[in-house]
Amino acid sequence: MKHNKQTALLLSMLLTVSCGSGLSAGAVTGSHLYPAPEDAYRYVSDDAAEESLPERFDLREKGLVSPVREQGNYQTGWAFAAVQSVESSLISRNAKIDLSEWQLACSMYSHTFGYPADKDAFLQEEASDKQIMGLLAGCIGPVREEDALYGDMDYADKSLTMEEIQAQAAYHVTDVYTYPYLQEAENFSAQCEAVKQAVYAGEAVSFSYVHAENCYNEAFHSYYYDPDQAETGAITGHSACIVGWDDTFPAEQFNTDPGRDGAWLVKNSWGTNWGEYGFFWISYADDTVNSLLSFDAVPADDSMLYQHDDFGCFGSFSSNPSGDEAAWIANMFTAGQDMWVTSAMLCCMEADDVCEITVYKGCEEGIPLSGEASAVTSTILSRTGYQTIPLAEPVFVKAGERFSVTVRLSGNKGWHIPCEYATHTERTDPDGTIKVTDSTFSIEMLSRQFQAGESFFSSDGIQWQDMADLTPEVVSYTAGEDNSIRYENTTMYGNICLKAVTHAAGAVTFSENSAFLPAGAEIALSCEEDLPIYYSVNNGAYQLYEAPIPFSEEMTVYAYPEGMDNTVSIRHYQEQKAEISGILCAEDGFCWYADPTSEPNTFHYYTEKGERSIGIMPVSTGTVMYEDQVLPPGKLTDISVPGGKTTLTFTVTEEGIGTSEYNLIIEELNDTEQTSGLLGDVDLNGTIDTSDASQILQYIAQSLFGDTPDFADSEWLARADYDEDQDVDTSDVSEILEYIASNLL
């Protein structure tokens, strides 16, 4: 954040720099861009104050929070926070959704298209909200967890291209919303209301903050950053996910009084045995909270994204130093196939902007408003960030044809133009030492894909400026008591953040894209060509589509427009049922999620010998019943279990969705194991065997060289300490081997 503020300050000094030549369309009226000052981001839509919200809310009680994960020793909290937010937006249609944080982290620092990082250190790199927005808005994932398992170094070593990663995506992020959070702003309460509205609508909000160990209150699982307390302990940047709030959370329950009541409920990525089962509370008043994002996503289809802003939006600009009430932006593309332009995706920088979109086809090179104009699509963008807007009338473009997407943005006076930009700063000290600082998105990265004829802006919609003609801006200044330190800052602008969403000619649109449908659902088919459609179910005979197709059980639908049977579109559907995505079990101050087994709808949990009470919390969007008792969502319910092996059966119901039954097998460990919970079963395969001993030996060997294996998180260490002497060593291996031998006998 400090670097961004310094960059904005430097850019605000650039008021008189010459620019390159204009377009053939005429003289340029606005050939310079001016950055938005920091307080330009304080505005939020008036809609934020319209809805009355409760003083307390918890997404866990709606079943819209996926199970808590464990990031281990990697600096990947940002990836967990972003993925958790995406999962929450999708969990109502797929309760067992589990997306890959590993793919997001590996793609961010991909050696073929991502940000530069040392191969051995890329998982220790932070990522900003702007980087995350650029990645996910560009369809770089997300993928399913099984396609990129956390910690899989073989996946990390793959040199996949951007196109290959895009092809793997299980879901497409259609919208990335941003939220200002400035304590000093007069409308700070409205900013908080905007975040609450998002969470209330089922959007978990990722954010970053400064985590200092000394500022965390373990008794109340609360956090408030106090710099005086923080400086005496470990401090790090971290990201997590807002999943609720409580306006009445007492100020006295923080280590330092923040000056007001109220806190956000936060889902962390440090496992279930940190905080309150993996969650904690952060004060509304914590002024390190920043970079708030939420996401909307849909199942991946056959759409194709045309974009020039591969790295996403890094700045908000105007052709007037004090801001404009209107601005025009455009990107030009060349169609790779016969296709339909169906939507535009753009990054809105000013809430409540009026957005007017026009697509031109058959354009002349470098002139975005040449060619045939489409109908205008108009809408109001009440939120900021990347948003996908369907066109009023899709536009057909032939292969090889040049087309443009143009947008007029108007509303409150502000900085409406979203684009990439990068800075390079050289500091020369009195002794001649030169220190170089590049922005996260560097000039070198921008230059990889930035060229003339792609992105344009205008201050009147008539005369347009090519972004590539903006001369890199250089500012020199001195600092220090005797002005002996010299700085030279270079700023380069990149592409406009405006994309085209397209579908191939002959593609059939399915009204239902989700892979899971409730019984009784109907699937409608359509195509942009407005031709008769033929379809087949489960490879049966093709028939003319005349009415929506009734869904029943599991089915695959194939469809094509008449005369275009070489462009078959396919969708696979399964019946959506009320489901449990995880079962948290807690006892003796520790908790774990029960392990899924190979048996459908069955989980397994180990405990000590004898009768006991175990806290049980199923995670579900439905109503979970045990015997005649409703298990309240988001809360632990104590259930008494006898010794031996016990099976608890839960019934899950949800309106409009089929009922399901789940089993939780609770099994006590033998006396000879002398264990508690999951002690000894370090690899969580359900048994204590030689693979556990082998993994502990691997940990010991790597530890001798000062390394910590990827698998050795805090929960793994607890399971590996078999003799409970607070140290994982060869004695643990010895006792495990003795246990195995005794069982064999």
Tell me the average pLDDT across 201-224. 96
CA distance 744 to 528: 67
Instruction: Give the global pTM.
Output: 0.85
Q: Are residues 170 and 299 in contact, defined by beta-carbon separation less than 8 angstroms?
A: yes
pLDDT level of residue 130 (50, 70, 90 thresholds): very high
CA distance 258 to 329: 43
Cis peptide bond upstream of 142, omega within 30: yes
pLDDT per residue as tens digits for the range 176-189: 999 999 998 888 99
pLDDT level of residue 20 (50, 70, 90 thresholds): very low
CA angle 140, 145, 151 (to 5 degrees): 95
Q: Which residues pair with 586 in a beta bridge?
A: 591, 615
pLDDT level of residue 521 (50, 70, 90 thresholds): very high
Tell me what pLDDT residue 692 has: 83
CA distance 374 to 99: 38
Tell me the average pLDDT across 333-358. 96
pLDDT level of residue 42 (50, 70, 90 thresholds): low
pLDDT per residue as tens digits for the range 527-586: 999 999 999 999 999 999 999 999 988 999 999 999 998 999 999 999 999 999 899 999
Tell me the average pLDDT across 414-433. 94
Residue 133 φ/ψ, nearest 5 degrees: -60, -45
- Tell me the pairing of strands 569-575 and 555-561: antiparallel
**Residue of 198, 177, 169, 87 whose CA lies nearest to 132:** 177
Tell me what pLDDT residue 680 has: 84
Q: Which residues pair with 719 in a beta bridge?
A: none
DSSP class of residue 270?
Answer: B
pLDDT per residue as tens digits for the range 683-715: 777 678 777 888 888 888 777 666 667 777 777
pLDDT of 304 higher than 70 = yes
- Please report, as a single letter, which amino acid is at residue 11: L
DSSP class of residue 565?
Answer: T
pLDDT of 19 higher than 50 = no
E-strand ranges in 655-720 read 657-668
pLDDT of 616 higher than 60 = yes
Q: Which residues pair with 585 in a beta bridge?
A: 592, 616
More confident residue, 72 or 389: 389
**Residue of 687, 604, 684 whose CA lies nearest to 648:** 604
- Specify the long-range contacts of residues 525-531, CB closer than 8 Å, at least 24 apart: 525/549, 525/559, 527/561, 528/340, 528/342, 528/394, 528/396, 528/503, 529/505, 529/561, 529/564, 531/561, 531/562, 531/563, 531/564
Q: CATH number for 56-296: choose from 3.30.930.10, 3.40.50.1110, 3.90.70.10, 3.40.47.10.
A: 3.90.70.10
Alpha-carbon distances of 517 from 94, 145, 520, 576, 690, rounded to whole Å: 10, 22, 8, 5, 43
To the question of domain 582-744 being in CATH 1.20.1740.10, the answer is no
Tell me the average pLDDT across 173-201. 94
Q: Which helix (H) or strand (E) holds 715?
A: helix 714-720
Provide the 3-class DSSP secondary structure of residue 482.
Answer: coil
Q: Are residues 422 and 300 in contact, defined by beta-carbon separation less than 8 angstroms?
A: no
- Tell me the pairing of strands 34-35 and 315-318: antiparallel
Neighbours of 571 (CB within 10 A): 20
Alpha-carbon distances of 14 from 33, 309, 490, rounded to whole Å: 9, 23, 10
Residue 199 CB contacts under 8 Å (≥ 6 apart), including other chains: 57, 59, 205, 242, 243, 244, 245
